[in-house]
Amino acid sequence: MRYELLYEISKPVIEAVGENNVLRSIVESTAKGTGAKGCSILVLSPDGKRLEHKVSFGLSEEYLRKGEITVNEAISKMLEGEPANIVDVSRDPGIQYPEQAVKEGIASLLSIPIRGLSGDIKGLLRLYMSNVKKFGRGEIDFLVSIADLGGIVLEKAKTYDRLVGDVDDAKSEIEKLEQDREMFLRFLSMVAHDLKAPVAAVESYLKVMLRGTPGPLTEKQETWLSRSISRLDSMTELISDLLDVSRLETGQITPEMETTTLNGVLMGCVETARGLADPGGVKIETEIESPFPAFFGSGRRLVQVINNLVSNAVRYTVEGGTIFIRARQEEGHLLVVVEDTGSGIKPEVMSKIFDDFFRGDQETEGTGLGLSICKRIVELHGGRIWAESPVPGKAGGTRFSFTVPLNR
């Protein structure tokens, strides 16, 4: 019987997917393989005081609804690990519903403890025989291994349910964080927008005063006004950067996307670069392999990226240094490179340079949002941006590169 039964059980169990389907395959195949009227798996309730039908085969709904199966003295012994073969259910005192069992056509019963992977008892595997039967030791031992298979499935299912619960909780937390983040970004956008106009107005009044329009100023007053304007410039820059972050994060710049090319973008950027570099005695060299094919993107935002990279390069390149602006088409994308001969980036901060509010040099002015905004813009276009310092093959300098896909 063993090999035939093992074969009958293994086929549907292997094909079944999901906890209940596997358990149903076990009870159905076990009942058919042993010639039993039916088979069921009963699991312990959380409080350990009842047995509850998990899956059954060959038993009527009326019998399954016969009543609660409490853990009495007889069942307690089974749950301690000993199989129990009740040869005559109509006369055995351990049977809780003998009349219903006889009406169902059950003559004998075999209960086998179901063990988990750790050895603890999960419930019982029960075989219901329509004829009086006393199982041999070999048969019981073999059926114990079938019950252990059910225990493994129950244990794995419990672990899976726990993991699913943890995943669902994590998803809920992530959704809540995303909602809170979006609310914060919208609040940030609103506050930054409301601040921009009054700050600009105050700066405008101070500049009028500095020009002496309302009347002459002392040297000390001019100094204070100049410092105030400089502070307001920094505040305006921060407000603009915060607005950009909120707009990029909430998708407000999507309407800016259109069919464009790098030709016009780069022409304006090169002129701006020369204007930034010339006062500091820094040279601008270009290697632009135009004309470029059209792509879908925001020319205004890509100008922002290139100008920001050039501005950083000028900031860290001493007089007599050189900044290279390169652009070319590669397979499937456009590549733009801004490289300088400056002091370079320290290795210990390279991994943080695209983080919000990070400034590698605390003495340098800036909001620390420039590179993080560049990263957001490039990724919005489906490209990527990265930095190398020192420049490969050279002793110093920094090279920033970013790509823009053509087929997006």
From the list 261, 257, 251, the residue with the least C-alpha distance to 298 is: 257
Nearest to residue 150, comparing CAs of 223, 48, 41, 235?
Answer: 41
Residues 384-389: contacts with CB within 8 Å, 24+ apart? 385/305, 385/354, 387/345, 387/350, 387/353, 389/344, 389/345, 389/350
| 392 and 338 fall within a common domain | yes
Judge contact between 295 and 405, C-beta under 8 A. yes
Same domain (yes/no): 264, 239: no
What's 296's domain CATH number?
Answer: 3.30.565.10
Same domain, 234 and 347: no
pTM for the model:
0.54
Nearest to 377 by CA among 272, 244, 271, 259: 244
According to DSSP, the residues that pair with 42 across neighbouring strands are 53, 124
Please indicate, yes or no, whether residues 260 and 230 belong to a single structural domain of this protein. Answer: no
Same domain, 220 and 295: no
Are 264 and 381 in the same domain?
yes
Residues 231 and 278 in one domain: no
Specify whether 235 is located in the same domain as 367.
no
- Of 131, 147, 165, which one is at a domain's C-terminal end? 165
Q: How many domains does the chain have?
A: 3
Domain range for 72 is 2-165
Q: Is residue 388 classed as helix, strand or coil in its secondary structure? A: strand
Q: Which amino acid is at 257?
A: M
Residues 10 and 122 in one domain: yes
195 and 151 belong to one structural domain: no
Q: What is the pLDDT along the chain (408 residues), one digit of tens a residue?
A: 555 555 555 555 545 556 677 788 888 888 888 889 999 999 888 888 889 888 899 999 999 988 888 888 888 888 888 888 999 988 888 888 889 999 999 999 999 888 877 778 888 999 999 999 998 888 888 888 888 877 777 777 666 667 777 788 888 888 887 777 777 767 767 776 677 778 788 888 788 888 888 788 888 888 888 888 888 877 777 777 777 777 787 777 788 889 988 888 898 899 999 999 999 899 999 999 878 899 999 999 999 999 999 999 998 899 999 999 999 999 889 999 999 999 889 889 899 999 888 876 655 566 778 899 999 999 999 999 999 999 998 988 999 999 999 887
Break the chain down into helix, strand, coil percent, rounded to 5: 50, 20, 30
**Domain-terminating residue out of 120, 145, 165:** 165
**CATH classification of the domain holding 111:** 3.30.450.40
Domain final residue pick, 148, 165, 182: 165
User: Is 362 within 8 Å of 300 (Cβ atoms)?
Assistant: no
